Structure 1
Amino acid sequence: MIDLTMDMEQYDCPFIATTDDYEVSFAAVHWEFDEGARELETRLVVEGSSQPTLENGLDALQSHPGMNQCDLFRKRGDTAFIRTVIEETDAMGVIRANDGYITGPFRIAEGSETWEVGFDDKRIAGDALSELDRNNEFTVESRDVLALDDCFDLLENADAAAELLEGCRDLSDVERQTLSVAADSGYFEQPRDATLQTLADEFEVSDTAVSKNLRRGERKVLRRVVNALESLDSSPAGRTR
């Protein structure tokens, strides 16, 4: 299996056109392709730089000629959850014609889209990329060749991966930033390259405040790590180690 991460600019995509004109971004949480109608149904989270920007972005999306249906499920502040139905784009047609498939959620912002696309054969992947180049702008950000054992490992341990992802989502912005700066500055190294005072100076808070943020973040992440380890131990792959 060839897994490609691509930065895609489709000229006929309503989402890309909207993010070109407005400071909004889209993240897909579910998608389904209708073979007969040649349409893509998608549920997405939409984020705007402000509430008025979100409103303007949604209006532009609904009025785009490539948008067949756009339903608003929920909206709060600068975030919305929508369901859309769009016509098959040129790039989607190329991927499908070459037996490609989506391997991860796609994200759209600032006029481009991140795609995770898989192919079963390297030659077919090359043919698809050549075809895509005719009517689309794209960059292949990464290219991974996954062996069959790796694919089974990913599938069998999806619960553990989801647990770790939830651990990251549990973190507040302050906790995430504190852990990130602490790791980058060597706070967790032995011996330490940074101290609580170093981190406190970075965030312009007291030693006590930065220590609390670190401990809260560590507790949240470690709790999820332990759960993920238990999930790994109970998986078929874990039991055979």
Structure 2
Amino acid sequence: MIDLDIDMRQYDCPFIDTTDDVDIAFSAVQWQLDTDDETLETRLIARGDSVGALENGLHTLRNHSNMTDCYVLSKRGNVAQIGTTIEETNAMRTIQRNGGYITGPFQIENGREHWRVGFDSDEDEDHTLAELERHNEFNVEDRDQFGPAALFDLLDNSSSAMRLLEGCRSLTETERETFRIASQNGYYETPRETTLGELADHFGISKTAVSMNLRRSERKILQGALSVLDDIDDESF
């Protein structure tokens, strides 16, 4: 299996057009492509920069010429869960016609869309990308190729990977940024290439505050990683 991470700009997608005009982002939760009706049904999370942006974005989305149906399932503050039906876009049709398939959720923000697309052969991949170039703008940001054993291992350990992902997502914005800058500047190298004092100067806070932010981020990430290690240990018996 060939798996591509594609950064895409479609010119006939209502979600992309909406994020061009309004400060709103969409993340797919569920999707169903009906090739007979040439439509795509989705359940998405919509997040606006504000309550007003969310309302404006949903209004813009409903009025798009390529939107068949758009309804709110639940809403709280600047976040809503919505259901939609859109007409099949050129990119969807091209991927499906050439034997491709969607392998993961897609996200849309700032006029761009990230897709995970799978193919069973290099030939299918090449034909699809060549056709996509005619009517869409895209970059292939990552490409992985899995054999049956590796793919089975990935699927068999999906729950462990999800726990590690949840640990990373539980970081606050401050914890995430502190951990990222510390890692990039060599704080975890041996010998260390930066110090707590230098990190404190970078963020304009005390060394104690930096240390606490790092410890909290490390603890959350390690908890997720340790749960994965426990699963790996269980598989070895």
How far apart are 1:171 and its partner, in Å? 0.8
- Unpaired runs of at least 5, structure 2: none
2:145 alignment counterpart: 145
Letter in 1 for 2:23: E
2:220 alignment counterpart: 220
Aligned-partner SS, 1:189: coil
Q: How does 1:69-108 map to 2 (within 5 A)?
A: 69-108=69-108
Residue identity over aligned pairs, in percent, reads: 51
Letter in 2 for 1:212: M
Aligned-partner SS, 1:65: coil
Aligned equivalents of 1:43, 1:129: Cα separation in 2: 27
Aligned-partner SS, 1:80: strand
CA deviations over 1:220-241 (Å, ceiling 9, x no partner) = 1111111111122334xx44xx
Aligned-partner SS, 1:42: strand
- Alignment RMSD (CA, Å): 1.6
1:44 alignment counterpart: 44
CA deviations over 1:167-199 (Å, ceiling 9, x no partner) = 101111111111111111111122211222111
Aligned equivalents of 1:51, 1:186: Cα separation in 2: 40
User: Which deviates further from its counterpart, 2-11 or 132-141?
Assistant: 132-141
How far apart are 1:74 and its partner, in Å? 2.7
Q: How does 1:67-216 map to 2 (within 5 A)?
A: 67-216=67-216
CA deviations over 1:123-162 (Å, ceiling 9, x no partner) = 1111111222222222222222222222112111111211
How far apart are 1:37 and its partner, in Å? 2.7
Aligned-partner SS, 1:133: helix
Superposition TM-score, scaled by structure 2 size: 0.93
1:12 alignment counterpart: 12
How far apart are 1:219 and its partner, in Å? 1.1
Aligned equivalents of 2:51, 2:196: Cα separation in 1: 37
Kept in 2, the 8 Å contact 1:8–1:113? The answer is yes
Aligned-partner SS, 2:189: coil
1:60 alignment counterpart: 60
Letter in 2 for 1:16: I
Aligned equivalents of 2:191, 2:42: Cα separation in 1: 49
- 1:24 partnered with 2:24: yes
Kept in 2, the 8 Å contact 1:2–1:121? The answer is yes
Kept in 2, the 8 Å contact 1:159–1:231? The answer is no
User: Which deviates further from its counterpart, 96-105 or 139-148?
Assistant: 139-148
Matched residues, number: 237
How far apart are 1:164 and its partner, in Å? 0.8
Aligned equivalents of 1:43, 1:36: Cα separation in 2: 20
Kept in 2, the 8 Å contact 1:160–1:232? The answer is no
Aligned equivalents of 1:106, 1:56: Cα separation in 2: 22
